Every structure is written in C-alpha cells, then in structure tokens.
Structure 1
Amino acid sequence: MNRSTDRQDGVLEAQPGTTAGGAHQGTRVQDRAPEAPQQAVPDDGSARAALLRVRDEVGKSIVGQDAAVTGLLIGLLADGHVLLEGVPGVAKTLLVRTLATALDLDTKRVQFTPDLMPGDITGSLIYESKTSEFTFREGPVFTNILLADEINRTPPKTQASLLEAMEERQVSVDGVSRRLPAPFLVAATQNPVEYEGTYPLPEAQLDRFLLKLTVPLPGREDEIEVIRRHSVGFDPRDLGAAGVRAVAGAEDVDRARAAVARVAIAPEVLAYIVDLVRATRSSPSFQLGVSPRGATALLNTSRAWAWLSGRSFVTPDDVKALTLPALRHRVALRPEAQMDGVDVDDVLGGILGTVPVPR
C-alpha cells in the first residue's frame, strides 16, 4: 500500500537547485559535469525563468504543495502525464486549474463517474439531419491539459479510452485518427484505493503515467494559512480574483523541452538508473518490478529536474529525487507483503539506500 496522506515527495519540496537538506551533497559525480565540453544552462534566461514564475504564480492559490507543483512542471517538461493521489479536499483539482491558468494553456475537466462512456472523453460522430451526414464532435480530450478528476471512479473500459491519447497524442474514432493539441498533458487525480467505489487503474494504464505524485494533508501552519485565505474571501472558483494570471505560454514550454533534451548525463549516472530499476525486479517484496519504460521515465524526469535546478548535467541526487514519483506506480507488491502492511515507498527507499551511488 502507499500512505499518501501525510508526506510529500522528498526533495521535490525544495526549491530548484537544492536537495532536501538545502544544498547538493558531496564533490564527486554529484557535482561534476560529465566528460563533455562545458556549456551554460540551456536557455536559462528565458524558458527556465518563465517556468519558475509559473511555480510562484501557482502559490497564489495553492498552499504547501510545492512537491506536487514541481512534479507537474517536470511532467510537462518531460512530455509525460501525471497521476495525483490524495484524499478528497487537498486541492488536487485546484492545483491543475491554477497551473493551466499560469501557463495560459487551454484546459478541460472530466469528472469520472461509473456511468461515463469512452465517447464522453474522446468525442463521437453526430448525425446532422440538415446535411444527412455524420460529423465529429470533439470530446474534452482535445485540449492542452486534461484534468481527469477521480479517474479511478470509472470502470476500466472508460479508463482505457485514454490510453491512445496518452501514448500517441491522438484519438481514433470510426477509423479516423485525429491529432491532439500540443502540448498535451493528462493530469489525473485519484483517491487512495482504500476508498469505496474505486476501480484500481490497470497496470497498462498506470505505466502510461510519467509520475505518480502523492498529495498529502497540509501541515498545521499550511492549514492555518488555507483557512486564513478563505476567511478573507478567497474563492477557488475565481482564480482571477486571487491574482492568478498567465506568466508563461506554450512557446516557453517548447523552448524548455528543447533545453531539457540537451541536458547531459554521464555514463555512470545512466548505469545508476539501470541498477536502481534492476534492483526492483529482484526485491523480495515485489512481484512486478520496473520495466525499461520506467528507466526511461526516470532518465527524462531527472533531466527535467536538473534543468529546473539550473544545471546542464544530471547528478545522482537528481535521480534520487525522482525515483519514488517515477517508479512507485510501476511496481506491484507480493500478496504476502501487502498482508504485512509493506509500503511501496519504503521498499523503494531501501533500494535507494543499498544501490551504490556513482563516485
């Protein structure tokens, strides 16, 4: 099981450029660029500054969820999708809406319910009596950021309707494929599986999510600030009144993605990623380990975090920071481990503590 209500995703709580302790540790591979010509941080002066402004802008409506905000930005930079898990009422939906507003991107929301049909997401053919023809009516998936709210409240058939869109960035209806807008990000929220009326996402769909972020209950001081804002008139339905405005755009995302793709990674750090992934396959607690797709996800998200942190190369600390959110949904506990109350994050944390770090 995953305990998702009381902790965030470690180092992602820190400001870009620091570890959870506040500074990068050591003077070995962690702080040394790979053997390659030195280069400035790719596009640091424009796209990176814009993305960091977005992070600050989201803080106008969201309190104490820095790790989730950063994780969503990493998902966007790495051209992947993000699954947000937390109990009801921790601002998962508000977080995604605020991010879209700050990025000036189109967003649509689908409330997943037991009676939701695939066509309600992808769109369908509508018969026009005036022309005696069928025309395609786009579903809400035709947007930049699709908020799939409570995705585990709907049966697997409807959940699966997102698979093609998430993987291929297109949908097919009646044999015709239609491209989705770019950028395209599915930000799905779900309640913990212990809640009644949930349908656990199948492994094939979980693997399509680049990251799984846990959204915890706020700490005491953060909760006081949430209540204080509401006491002076904050309305989550009116982001404009809260002062949230567009501070970046799709062109900034495009430039940022190009910069992230140029972030270098040393062979020993690549090997470290592979060693971590292979360790999940031999863990006695897991019946299913991480596939090569998961290793690629850890690589891409580590690059994005390194770039946000102001570096042109990936360190082992970057890999450690993204290991839990990039891998926790790609493993499956053995039944006996589940019965013993073993936590996926604890097992992954143990692997991080035993796999040798490059020096």
Structure 2
Amino acid sequence: MGRGPHCEPVPGRLGWSGRFTSTPARGPRVQQTTAMAGIDAPDMARAQQLIGSIVRSFENKVVGQARLRETLVIGLLTGGHVLLESVPGLAKTTAAQAIAESVSAEFRRIQCTPDLLPSDIAGTQIFDAVKGTFVTQLGPVHANIVLLDEINRSSAKTQSAMLEAMQERQTSIGGESYPLPKPFLVLATQNPIEQEGTYRLPEAQMDRFMLKDVLDYPSPAEEADVIRRIDAGVFSAEQRPPAAASLDAVVEVQELVRRVYIDPAIVRYIVGLSYVTRNASQYLEPRLAHVVEFGASPRASIAFSQAARAMALLKGRDHVIPEDVKSLAHRILRHRIILGFDAVVEEISVETVIDAVLASVQTP
C-alpha cells in the first residue's frame, strides 16, 4: 500500500481492500484563526433568520427540488459557482431568478450560443463620436447572480473569458481590470441529452465550479402543484414577494460561514477523500479503479471545506460534522473525477465510484 500525506491505509487481505485512515499531521503546527473563532448566539440567530427567509422565498416560486435549493443556498453563502445538469423544463432558470429575487440581487441571464463572443459577456469599448474617446460598456457578467444557460454551447474562447470572471472576480476590457460586484455567483446549466453544436467544457473550467448538481423530474404531486401555482398567478410579476434579505446581509453571513469550526480530524478526512480519488488503484476494487483516469485536484478539498461550513450553518450548527462532508460528496466530486471509456462500456457511473471512495476512507 502507498502512504499519503498525513494518512496511512489499513492493510487488507487484497491490495485494493485497505481503508484510508487519518493520522495526525507531522511537521509544524498551523495555527487556526477563522476556523477557531466560533459564532456567538446573536450572530447564529441572525444567520438562521436570514437563511430561513431565503428558503421560504425560494419555496414560494419553486416546487420541490429540495436538493437544488440547498445547493443554491450553499453557493450563495460561500460564493462558490454551481453547475446544473438536467433536461429542459426542470425550473433551473426559475430557481436562479428566485434565489436572486430573495436577496435583491442583480440577475442576468446569458443564453450561450456558438457565436457568442467574450465581449458579449465581459463587455467592450465603444467609440463615443461626440467626446472623441472610447467608452467602456460593461457586459452582463457584471451582476450579482449570472445564469449561463447551456454553457457548453459557447466556444472555447468565450469559456476562457468566463474563467477570469469566475476565478479572479474581475474582467479585463481594453487593458483595464473591472471588479465584479459582491456577492458574485455563476450558475451554469448543461443539457445532457442534446450534444449537437456543443463544446465540451475543459477540465480546468469544470474545476472552478464548487458544486455540480443533477436534477431529476418532479413527482406527480409536485408537477400538479406547479400547474396550480401557474393558474393562481404565483409566477407573474405582480405577485413577486418583497426580498427576504439585502445583499449586505448576505455578505455578513458569508463572513460567518468562514467562522464555522472545522476540526483537524475532519480536514484530514476531506483530504483523504481527494487523495483516494488520485490513488484509486490502491484503495478501490479493480473493477472500479481501472475506469478512473484522473482524480480530484486540491481544489476539491477546498470546496469540501467551504461547502461543509455552509452546510453546518444551514443545519443550525457552528461546527462541521462528517455527515456534512458525506452529503456533499456527489456534488463536489462528480465533475472532478474523470472516468475513461471503459466506464461507459461497463455501465459504471461516477456516483458509484464516489460511493466506493466514501466507503474506503474511515470516518473520523
């Protein structure tokens, strides 16, 4: 068995049957600051009130989709971008609008097409004939919440322009940098059933999304409720409820998320999950290990840490527990573990591999 950083496998009867167990880190101790700061009772009460208001506002517009609601709220509280995959008609745009309206956020929807240019997203310079100078016109990405509809229909050049916005929180126009507003969140969608005229998202850009959620059809009762709400005019502009929170309040709660305590043992557990994906042959059974071409990058561990803190706050806790990490595993790893062609032939899904990774790492 190989030895990972600060962790060691427990030998098994076969080469792949060992489990990854955490051991205390060796070397100089790193002082924890924000993670140890804690959250006092008044701050926790305000956070719960704001989160509850956002959830109720969201539920007023979107029927069911509890996991989607949870994913979007985690993205809002962490500033982590979200990739949504589903067939058309499952309320992705409605959900994005609902989360934006709940916090008075400026919302922009960009329909991605093959002829979309980077300047159509970031902005461009226009010559003002009256003044005789160029004037910068900012693009639709300069909003608090941006929906990139069918992102895989945009060209590689346009997708690269989004990389700067997503990672650096700024755009470059005419040699000048323009910061994006705070908070800033990108929600991108993909249609898995129609691949004609699409461009595959590069792994570097996929890795910039904190979470990837796969939506399913609503139940018959939920679908009937959607029809009743449409008949009642819930989705009309006249029925729009007031915002549940301000953008300043969202920024304050984002600061509280950073103060949620995460124990070093859970940090090692998170690192262990990412490490196993990169060393699948040592910890997973051969049937699953050989279909894994590339594992998750350290950005996955960072996403686990940030999203688990937000999940804890959603549950009313000021500390992270292992169940927070486990509940996020599919959403954080499904777009970061790259499977080979054999996975398609043998009908092995990435979710099956993630479940095996969870089973191979000892829970603290």
Q: TM-score range by the shorter chain?
A: 0.7 to 0.9
> Shift of the alpha carbon at 1:61?
1.2
1:222 CA displacement: 1.1
Per the TM alignment, residue 341 of structure 1 is displaced from its structure 2 partner at its CA by 2.1
* 1:153-194 deviation line (CA, Å, top 9, x unaligned): 112211111010111110011211111111111111111165
For the 8 Å contact 1:77–1:256, the answer to whether it is kept is yes
Q: Residues 205, 266 of structure 1: CA spacing in aligned structure 2 closer, same or farther, 3 A cutoff?
A: same
The CA distance in 1 between the partners of 2:122 and 2:137, in whole Å, is 9
Which one-letter code corresponds to 1:63 in the other structure?
Answer: V
Q: Residues 314 and 63 from structure 1, CA distance in 2 versus in 1: closer, same or farther, beyond 3 angstroms?
A: same
| Aligned match for 1:317, one of 320, 323, 330 | 323
Aligned to 1:6: none
In structure 1, the residue matched to 2:348 is 342
Aligned to 1:218: 218
> How many Å separate the matches in 2 of 1:220 and 1:352?
33
Q: 1:99 to 1:239 in 2, by over 3 A?
A: farther
In structure 2, C-alpha distance between the alignment counterparts of 1:170 and 1:350, rounded to whole Å: 38
Higher RCO (CA 8 Å, separation ≥ 6 residues): 1
SS in 2 for 1:43: helix
Number of paired residues?
321
**Deviation, structure 1 residue 199:** 1.9
- Specify whether residues 53 and 38 from structure 1 end up closer, same or farther in structure 2 by C-alpha distance, changes over 3 A only: closer
Residue 56 of structure 1 pairs with residue 53 of structure 2: no
**Residue 335 of structure 2: which of 329, 333, 339 is its match?**
329
Percent of pairs identical after alignment? 42
* In 2, Cα distance between equivalents of 1:200 and 1:170: 24
1:224-235 correspondence runs (5 A)? 224-235=224-235
**Whole-angstrom distance in 1 between the partners of 2:189 and 2:36:** 41
C-alpha contact (below 8 Å) 2:39/2:256 kept by paired residues: no
Find the residue that maps to 2:90 and give its secondary structure: coil
TM-aligned CA deviation for residue 239 of structure 1 = 4.4
* Residue 122 to residue 48, structure 1, CA distance change in 2 (3 Å): same
Q: Deviations over 1:12-39 (max 9, x none)?
A: xxxxxxxxxxxxxxxxxxxxxxx97986
Alignment of structure 1 residues 157-168 onto 2, 5 Å: 157-168=157-168
- Matched with 1:291 is 297
CA distance in 2, matches of 1:226, 1:356: 43
Determine whether 1:155 maps to 2:155: yes
Render the CA deviation track for 1:298-355: whole Å, top value 9, x for unaligned.
1110011001111111000000011111121111102211222211112101211232
- How far did 1:280 drift? 1.0
Structure 2 CA distance, aligned partners of 1:112 and 1:341?
A: 31
Q: Conserved in 2, the CA contact under 8 Å of 1:42 and 1:259? A: no
User: How far apart are the structure 1 equivalents of 2:38 and 2:46?
Assistant: 20
8 Å contact kept, 1:281–1:289: yes
Contact 1:42–1:262 at 8 Å: present in 2 too? no
- Residue 97 (1) aligns with residue 103 (2): no
> Matched residues in 2 for 1:344 and 1:267: separation?
28
Cα shift readout 1:238-281 (whole Å, capped 9, x = no counterpart): 3442x432010111111111111111111111111011111111
Give the letter aligned to residue 197 of structure 1: G
* Aligned partner (choices 272, 279, 282) of residue 282 of structure 1: 279
User: In the superposition, relative to structure 1, how do residues 171 and 225 fare at CA in structure 2: closer, same or farther (>3 Å)?
Assistant: same
For 1:306, give the aligned amino acid.
Answer: A
Q: Between 191-200 and 108-117, report the one with greater CA deviation.
A: 191-200
TM-score (norm 2): 0.84
Number of the residue aligned with 1:21: none
Show the 5 A alignment for 1:25-64.
Answer: 40=40, 43-64=43-64
The aligned counterpart of 1:142 is 142
- Matched with 2:253 is 256
Structure 2 unpaired stretches of 5+: 1-34, 281-288
Distance in 2 separating the partners of 1:205 and 1:341: 26
Does 1:273 pair with 2:262?
no
Q: After TM superposition, give the deviation of residue 290 of structure 1 in Å.
A: 0.5
SS of residue paired to 2:226:
helix
Q: Output the CA distance in 2 between the equivalents of 1:70 and 1:137.
A: 35
Partners of 1:98 and 1:239 within 8 A in 2? no
Query: In 2, distance between residues paired with 1:196 and 1:51?
Result: 40
Gap change, CA 1:38 and 1:292, over 3 Å in 2: closer
Aligned partners of 1:95, 1:36: CA distance in 2, in Å? 34
Paired AA for residue 334 in structure 1: G
Aligned-residue CA RMSD in angstroms?
Answer: 1.8
Deviation >6 Å, runs of 4+: 35-38
- SS, match of residue 357 in structure 1: coil
| Structure 1 unaligned blocks of 5 or more | 1-34
> Does the 8 A contact of 1:58 with 1:244 survive in 2?
no
Q: Aligned equivalents of 1:193 and 1:209: distance in 2?
A: 21
- AA of the residue aligned to 2:347: G
Offset, 1:42:
7.2
Under a length normalisation based on structure 1, what TM-score does the superposition of the two structures give? 0.85
Q: For 2:80 and 2:42, how far apart are their aligned partners in 1?
A: 20
Give the distance between the partners of 2:199 and 2:222, measured in 1 at CA.
31
Separation in structure 2 between the aligned mates of residue 260 and residue 214 of structure 1, nearest angstrom: 25
Matched, 1:308 2:314: yes
Which of 338, 358, 362 is the equivalent residue of 1:356? 362
Structure 2 residue identity aligned to 1:299? S
Q: For structure 1, which segment, 331-340 or 293-302, has the greater mean C-alpha deviation from structure 2 after superposition? A: 331-340
Within 1, Cα distance between the matches of 2:222 and 2:314?
Answer: 25
